[in-house]
Amino acid sequence: MTKVLIVPEFHEENPHQLISLPHPSTGRLTRYLVGGNPKAVYELTLVQKSRFQSMLICNSTNTDQGLTKDDENSNNNDYGSVKSSAELVISTLVSPLFFALQVLNKHANQFRTWEDLSDSLLSVSPAFRYIDDLLEQSISLICDIQEPAPGMVCFRLSKEKLFAHLSSKVLKIKSRLPQSVEKQFVTKRLAPVRFDVPTPNEMYDRARSGIATDIVASYLPPGLSEEFMEIGKDEQAKLHEYLASLEKERSIELTKQMFSAGGSGGGVNKRSLEEQEDKPANKPKKKALSINAARKQKIDTAGMKKMTSFFKKA
């Protein structure tokens, strides 16, 4: 199975490399891509498989050129190559500060130098040395800072700064939700029951905020995740209440359609039910007549003798 990895633009002075780091929320070792200019950390995501598995990989300048069967098996890079079975992996930017939160939260009541914090991270995974510079830059956004002595800078996690920073990320994410996510978890869920009663705009906004908050919270360590979710708890409660009312309206509307006269979609005709109730329950059914018997019923036999009378004894 071939894996096709879509990476950011390649830079020779700072090439990308794959490293394994503990996931900020679960702690499980996960592969990340590090590098680029400017240097950054990228999360790797396997795109869900579809029935189309083959991929054509070639230079973008040659996509309009014809590709024959002989070219598929050649080593000519001008034509590219076809992978008959491949998995697509995409890289997405992830903030380095998420990786530092577990150590910062563990010592939330203490001011510690970056050297101490870095040693704690390296004891968890030596691979943190590859992003040590990114971590040091990022924690200044979410920490209180003291300088007890010249050249000695100490950091302490500030939840106020952290949640303010994460809230700004929520605003960015909810304004850039993919169309598939918007359709499935916003538009579809909030579709009005009646067109004359539209869904309030603030409900759409709350739905988007809920999705974005869930995404951000999925990168937070246990404890911090629950605290961050509490910030928008009241707004999400209003959304859930509205969704419950929509479900109730849909249920009522469906019941009306089922019992409306001439209703479609499996509806029951009330009149036909009443007619069936008026009929005797155990009325015997008439036997179906044969073709000859049916013809005899149509013949007028009034005044005629029966055929058997000609064969009686004298």
* Per-residue pLDDT tens over the stretch 142-187: 999 999 888 899 999 999 999 999 999 999 999 999 999 999 999 9
Residue 267 pLDDT > 50: no
The whole-number pLDDT of residue 313 equals 54
Residue 281 pLDDT > 60: no
Q: How much is the pTM?
A: 0.72
Give the mean model confidence (pLDDT) for residues 113-118. 93
The whole-number pLDDT of residue 128 equals 94
Residue 269 pLDDT > 80: no
The whole-number pLDDT of residue 215 equals 95
Residue 273 pLDDT > 50: no
Beta-strand ranges (E) seen in 165-283 are none
- Is there a contact between 32 and 7 (Cβ–Cβ < 8 Å)? no
The whole-number pLDDT of residue 231 equals 93
Query: Could you tell me the pLDDT band of residue 5, with boundaries at 50, 70 and 90?
Result: confident
Tokens of 45: 């995501």
* Per-residue pLDDT tens over the stretch 212-245: 999 999 999 999 999 999 999 999 999 999 999 9
* Per-residue pLDDT tens over the stretch 123-136: 999 999 999 999 99
Of 211, 202, 215, 203, residue with least CA distance to 181? 211
The whole-number pLDDT of residue 245 equals 93
The whole-number pLDDT of residue 201 equals 95
- Tell which wins on pLDDT, 32 or 73: 32
Query: Could you tell me the pLDDT band of residue 283, with boundaries at 50, 70 and 90?
Result: low
Identify the structural domains of the chain with CATH numbers, from first to last: 1-58+79-94 (2.20.25.530), 95-157 (1.10.10), 160-258 (no CATH)
Give the mean model confidence (pLDDT) for residues 275-292. 54
Q: Which residues on neighbouring strands pair with residue 43, listed in sequence order?
A: 32, 92
* Per-residue pLDDT tens over the stretch 243-263: 999 999 989 888 888 887 555
Query: Could you tell me the pLDDT band of residue 268, with boundaries at 50, 70 and 90?
Result: very low
- Is there a contact between 58 and 79 (Cβ–Cβ < 8 Å)? yes
* Per-residue pLDDT tens over the stretch 40-95: 999 988 876 666 667 777 766 554 455 454 544 545 555 677 777 677 788 889 99
Q: Which long-range contacts does 106-112 make (Cβ < 8 Å, 24+ apart)? A: 107/156, 107/157, 108/156, 108/157, 108/159, 109/156, 110/156, 111/144, 111/146, 111/148, 111/154, 111/155, 111/156, 112/154, 112/155, 112/156
The whole-number pLDDT of residue 63 equals 47
- The sign one gets for the Cα dihedral 182, 188, 189, 195 is positive
Q: Which residues on neighbouring strands pair with residue 86, listed in sequence order?
A: 2
Residue 277 pLDDT > 80: no
What whole-number distance in Å separates Cα of residue 223 and Cα of residue 227?
6
Residue 288 pLDDT > 50: yes
Residue 300 pLDDT > 70: no
